[in-house]
Amino acid sequence: MNRIDANGRDFRALNEEIRAAGQEILIENCMGQRYIAAGMSGVSLTIQGIPGNALGCYLNGGTIRVHGNAQDQTGDTMNSGTIVVDGSCGDATGYSMRGGKILVRGNAGYRVGIHMKAYREQQPLIVVGGETGSFLGEYQAGGTIIVLGIGSEKKAPVGNLCGTGMHGGKMFLRAEELPADLPPQVAASKATEEDMAEIDGYLEEFCAAFSMEKQSLFDRPFYVLRPNSANPYQNLYTFN
Amino acid sequence: MAINYNIPEYDVLRDPQRCIACRVCERQCANEVHSFDPDSGTMKSDESKCVNCHRCVALCPTHALKIVKNPDTFRLNAYWGQNDISEIYRQAETGGMLLSSMGNPKPYPIYWDKILINASQVTNPSIDPLREPMETRTFLGKKPGAIERNPDGSIKTDSLPPQLKLEVPILFSAMSYGSISYNAHQSLARAAQELGTYYNTGEGGLHEDFYKYGPNTIVQVASGRFGVHHDYLEAGAAIEIKIGQGAKPGIGGHLTGAKITDAVSRTRMIPKGTDAISPAPHHDIYSIEDLRQLVYSLKEATEYKKPIIVKIAAVHNVAAIASGIARSGADIIAIDGFRGGTGAAPTRIRDNVGIPIELALAAVDERLRQEQIRSNVSLIVAGGIRNSADVVKAIALGADAVYIATPALIALGCHLCRTCQIGKCNWGIATQRPDLVKRLNPDIGYKRLMNLVSAWQHEIMEMMGGMGINSIEAMRGNRLMLRGVGLNEKELEILGIKHAGE
C-alpha cells in the first residue's frame, strides 16, 4: 500500500499523487481537500482524516473508505464504485449518482440521493445508518436509498419533504411511522417480505462494513416509498 | 364544447385545378391535416391541425397548396388579441401551463437592427479579403495576464490554459439528442468537424456513434446530469455547465417520457419511458463558491485538459453574475439572450423572461473590462443570431464568438413553425419518430450547414475588410466600429456606442 501524507497538499497536487501512486493507497492527515479521486476508476483509497467536498465525484469504479466524516456532495454523479464513510456525510450525498454504492455509518445532510438514477444493470445504492436532513431522494429517478435511523429518537429518521418529485427507484425507511408530510408523488407502505428480501443483501453489506449485527435492525418496522408515476408532471402542460 | 373551438391560425388553400390527388401531402403531414376522400376522389384538409411547417407546400408536385393566415377572426380588439383569447380557452379547458417552442416571437426591440457597421474610406483603406490574408480563427479560453518568455526569448506557450481553436467564430449551440433527432445531431457533428468548430450535446448525453466527433464536441453538464459519466467528460473538447437557457431562464427542463425512446434512453442513461426532469437549479449550487466547486470538480475529473464553459441566460443582473463566473475558475462564459430557441418552454417564460442579448453582451463586456478580468474568460453569445452581420456586431460589442442554433436548424429544413414540443416535426429535426427522422439526410444536412457557415465566414471577412480590420482579435470589443440609429441615450450608453452621425 502506498501512503500519501496529505498535510500541506492542495487538492490538485493530492489528486496527482493519487493518480501516480497506483491502486492501493492510504491518505493520511486528510484535511478538507476537495474532489479526491474525481472521475477515477480502479483505485482503492483509505482516507484518514476528513476529505473535503465532492469526494469521489464522477467516480467510475474502485473503493474509497473514509475513517472519519466526509463533507458535501460525496459521490456526486458517481457512475460505479463504493464509498464507505465511518462517520457522517454532508449535504447532497450521492447527488445524481447512477451506479455504485455509498454506505454512511452516521448521519447525512440535506438532499441526500437527490436526482439519483438507474440505468440497466447500474442500480445505485445509498445506505445511511443514522438520520438524514430534508429533501431526501428529491426527484429520485432510480436506485435504492435506505435510511436506518440507528440511534435516532425521531419517529421517522428523515427531515421534511422526503421524495418530492420522485419518479423512479425506491426508498426504505426504518421508522416508527412514516413522515407526516410525504408529497403526492410518493406512495408509501410497510415493507413486505418480498421488499425486505430485495434489500437483505444491502443490509448485509452495510452491517459487514461497520461490524454490526444485522438482526438488530429488525426491531423497528421498515417502510418502502415508491413513486406514484414515472411521469409525475405530464399533466402540467397544454400545447400552445 | 363549442366554447373550446379555437380558430385555426392558418388556412390550407388547395387549387383544385392543380391538385392531382397524388396524396403526397397526406403522406408527408404527421399532423394529419390532409386526407383523401374516396367518394369525391379529391383531397380534403383539416386546417385546425395545421402548424404551417410548409412540408406539404414544399413537396406538392403541382404547387397546388398554399398555407395562409386564416382570415377568420374574433371581433378585432386592439388590446385582446386572438392569441390572448385562444390561450385562455385552452387553459380553461385543460388547466395546463402553456407550452411553446423555439425563440420568443414577440415584437420586442431588435437592437441588432438599430446598430450599423463602419467602413473605411480614403484613409485607413479597406482590405480586400479575396487577395489579402484575413484571419477568422479565434481561440476561446482563459488568456494569461502577461506574456512570459523562455530564456531564448521565444514566447512561452506550454503553460497556457486549455483553449478551443475555432476556424470561424461560430459554434453550434446546445441542442440535446432527444429534443432533436439523431440525423440532426449527426449533421451538426459532421459540419463542426469539417468547419473546424464545435457543436454542443446539450444535456441529453452523447450518442455512442458520435464519440468519434469528440474533438469537435462540447459536452454539457446540467442539473439533471443526464448521460454524464467519465467517458462522456473525456470525450468532449470542452465541458459546458448549463446554468440557464435564454428561452427559459430560471426554470429547468422536462423531456416527457414519450420522447425517451430506446436510443434516447441509452444516451441519457435513464430507463425508457420515464420523464427526464432537469430541475431548475443545480442542487449543489447556491453561490459563486459552489459554482467554483462544480467547475473544479470537472477540471479535476478531466485533469485540467479542457476549458470549462458556464452558460447562463441573459437576465437583469447579468453583468454582476458574469463577473462572479469570471472569478469561479470558468474559462468561457456563454450568455444566451431572450430570443434563444428551445424544444419546449412554458410560453409565459419564453415570452416574458430575460433580456436582449445585445444589451446583456455590452453590459457584461464592459463590466469585465472595468474589473480588469475580461481576459479571465472568453465570451460566447447566443440567442437570436440571424446572420453574419449580427455576428460582426456581436464581436464588435465584445463577444469572442457566437453560438447559433436556430439558423442551423433552418439550414437543415426547419420552417420555424414553433411546434417542436409536440414531437411530430415533419422535417425530421425535432422528432424521434423513425419515419420522420429519416426525412433529414445527414449527408445533405452537414453540407448545408457547412455552406451556411462558410457563406457567413466570407461575409464576415468582407465586412471586416471594409472596416480595415483583418483579424477577429482586432474587431473584438471594437465598439468604435458601431453606430446606433434610433436609439435613446440610455440604450446608447448601455451598448457603449455612439449615435450615427456622431
> Same structural domain for residues B47 and B186?
no
pLDDT, position B157: 84
Q: Is A75 within a domain?
A: no
Please check whether residue A54 lies inside any domain of the structure: no
Of B96, B115, B150, at which residue does a domain stop? Answer: B96
Domain residues for the domain of B466 are: 167-499
CATH, residue A201:
2.160.20.60
**Do B242 and B369 reside in the same domain of the chain?**
yes
Inter-residue contact B424 to B33 (CB < 8 Å): no
Mean pLDDT of chain B: 95
- Does the pLDDT of residue B108 top 90, yes or no? yes
To the nearest whole Å, the CA of B419 is away from the closest chain A CA by: 8
Over 70: is that where the pLDDT of B55 sits?
yes
Residue A237 lies in a domain: no
pLDDT digits (tens, 9 = 90+) for A106-147: 999 999 999 999 998 999 999 999 999 999 999 999 999 999
Count Cβ–Cβ pairs < 8 Å, chain A vs chain B.
140
Angle (nearest 5°) at CA B202 between A140 and B340 = 115
- Are residues B185 and B58 located together in one domain of the fold? no
Distance CA B153, CA B151 (A): 5
Q: Which of A34-38, B6-10, B33-37, B98-102 has the lowest mean pLDDT?
A: B6-10
Task: Tell whether B495 and B399 lie within a shared domain.
Answer: yes
Question: In this complex, do B233 and A167 lie within 8 Å of one another by their Cβ atoms?
Answer: no
For residue B228, tell me if it sits in a domain.
yes
CA angle A172–A178–A183, rounded 5-degree value? 90
pLDDT of residue B411: 98
Boundary (domain end) residue, out of B96, B122, B157: B96
CB neighbour list of residue A25: distance below 8 Å, 6 or more residues apart: A1, A2, A3, A4, A18, A43, A44, A45, A46
Q: How far is CA A8 from CA A19, A32, A216, in A?
A: 18, 11, 42
Q: Is B50 annotated as a binding residue?
A: yes
Q: How many domains does chain B have?
A: 2
Query: CB-based contact (8 Å) between B237 and chain A?
Result: no
Among chain B residues, the shortest Cα distance to A112 is held by B283
A91 vs B contacts (CB less than 8 Å): 284
Instruction: Please say which residue of B47, B77, B96 terminates a domain.
Output: B96
A90 to chain B: closest CA residue: B284
Q: What is the mean pLDDT of residues A177-188?
A: 92
b vs e for A75-85, b when ≥16 Cβ sit within 10 Å of the residue's Cβ? bbbbbbbbbbb
Higher local confidence (pLDDT), A21 or B157 = A21
- Claim to verify: residue B207 and residue B72 sit in the same structural domain: no
Q: What is the tally of structural domains in chain A?
A: 1
Tell me the three state secondary structure of residue A110.
coil
Asked, for residue A42, whether it belongs to a domain, the answer is no
**Per-residue CA distances from B169 to A57, B275, B375, B388 (Å):** 33, 36, 17, 10
Distance from CA of B270 to the nearest CA of A (A): 5
Q: Which of B10-14, B62-66, B125-129 has the lowest mean pLDDT?
A: B125-129
Q: What is the pLDDT of residues B302-360, one digit of tens each?
A: 999 999 999 999 999 999 999 999 999 999 999 999 999 999 999 999 999 999 999 99
Confidence at residue B270, expressed as pLDDT on a 0 to 100 scale? 87
Residue B80's CATH number: 3.30.70.20
In a domain, residue A197? The reply is yes
Find the domain containing A218 and state its range: 88-232
Does the pLDDT of residue A233 top 80, yes or no? no
Same domain, B80 and B178: no
Give the ranges where B220-356 is alpha helix by DSSP (H): 230-235, 262-268, 288-301, 318-326, 347-352
Task: For residues B172 and B37, state if they share a domain.
Answer: no
pLDDT band at B63 (very low <50, low <70, confident <90, very high): very high
Which residue in the set B99, B279, B301 is minimally distant from A237, CB to CB? B99
Mean pLDDT (whole number) for B492-500: 98
Opening angle at CA B35, ends B32 and B41, nearest 5: 175
Residue A8 within a domain = no
pLDDT score recorded for residue B275: 81
CB contact under 8 A, A12 and B304: yes
pLDDT for residue B1: 67
pLDDT at A236: 81
The verdict on residue B171 lying in a domain is yes
Residue A82 has pLDDT above 90, yes or no: yes
pTM, two decimals, is: 0.95
For residue B188, the domain's CATH number is 3.20.20.70
What contacts A112, CB < 8 A, 6 or more positions away? A89, A91, A92, A93, A94, A126, A128, A132, A133, A136, A137, A145
- Give the angle A124-A125-A130 at the CA atoms, nearest 5°: 155
Contact at CB, B98 and A92, closer than 8 angstroms: no
Calculate mean pLDDT across residues B68-74.
93
pLDDT digits (tens, 9 = 90+) for B236-272: 999 999 999 999 999 987 777 777 888 888 999 888 8
What's the Cα-to-Cα distance from B238 to each of A36, B139, B199, rounded to whole Å? Answer: 22, 13, 10
> What is the predicted ipTM?
0.94
Cβ pair A28, A5 in contact under 8 A = yes
Asked if A58 lies within 8 A of B273 by C-beta distance, the reply is no
Q: Encode burial over B488-502: b for 16+ CB neighbours within 10 A, e otherwise.
A: eeebbebbbbeeeee
DSSP three-state, residue B222: coil
- Confirm or deny that B425 is annotated as ligand binding: no
Cα dihedral: B227, B312, B196, B478 (round 10): -170
Whether residue B89 sits in one domain with residue B229 = no
In this predicted structure, what is the pLDDT of residue B258? Answer: 76
Q: With contacts defined as CB-CB under 8 Å, which chain A residues touch B430?
A: none
Among A148, A84, A76, residue whose Cα is nearest residue A113: A76
For residues B248 and B280, what is the distance between their CA atoms, to the nearest angstrom? 10
Residue B373's pLDDT is what? 97
What does the pLDDT look like over B149-185, one tens digit per residue?
A: 999 999 988 889 999 999 999 999 999 998 999 999 9
Establish if B132 belongs to a structural domain: no
**B486 within a domain of the structure (yes/no):** yes
CA distance B276 to A142: 12
